Structure 1
């Protein structure tokens, strides 16, 4: 299994593609923060933007990397590997992506104040307080971003399209409940 993962996931063009995908989200967030700074945003918006970035960045980037890099590679491997080896590779790739994200979500849920202090050391106290509260509310639904992206991709490659189209609705409802609650 280690040899299979090393050969197919961590060598060659896969890491280059992962790096390109990982840069897209921070650039978009920087543009949003600069626009908010230019037009003058309040402490609640600053706290919301910071908490949303911390929650959604890892989940959405990992989901995008998985969907845009691992899934096409899995489809390519269908011709080369046996069905058992293909499913072993797919399960191992899922674990490689989910375990670090689950640990990060657990860190956000248990040590939210520490993460906010590290991300914004010079934040005003009111903004920091709002950000910690929002981070605690959004951490678990943020993990659902990753699960939805990965499950949707897996369902699509196995020709289960109806259930995959329901995933964004489920994700939106979970995030809405997390923010409102």
Structure 2
């Protein structure tokens, strides 16, 4: 089976645990987290740091770039679970990956990228892997990994924030966290 992330959670879910302790460990590990490495443009990472500091101050909560990635992932998964259309998702991913901002940083490498480790729940990584497997079921080749999706989401969010397309996004996040 193809791996859709460095964590390869789908494969772990398919493994048959041996014995009582194996089953117990598996049930606990399903609720765990996995660490993934994503590459972000330095400037966008720093802008994200400023945004998360603002959210931290206004919401009086610890909030990091990792938390921002997690929120963006939750939004994507919510949308996909309500409308599980792999054709539409593949078109969306193609559209996003062909934008000039994504091309500039990931294809032409005009700016140095920085490695950022993010922690996501195994369940969310599994859902993202399944989304990619759904796409692979229709198309023979999937050109994305979970890490690519996280990178594109983050860069598009920061880019949209800078351009004013998501002018109220930070306020919405603060309101959501304060509930």
User: TM-score if structure 1 supplies the norm length?
Assistant: 0.24
Bigger share in strand: 2
Bigger share in helix: 1
Name which structure has the greater RCO, CA cutoff 8 Å, separation 6+. Answer: 2
User: TM-score if structure 2 supplies the norm length?
Assistant: 0.25
Query: Which structure has the bigger radius of gyration?
Result: 1
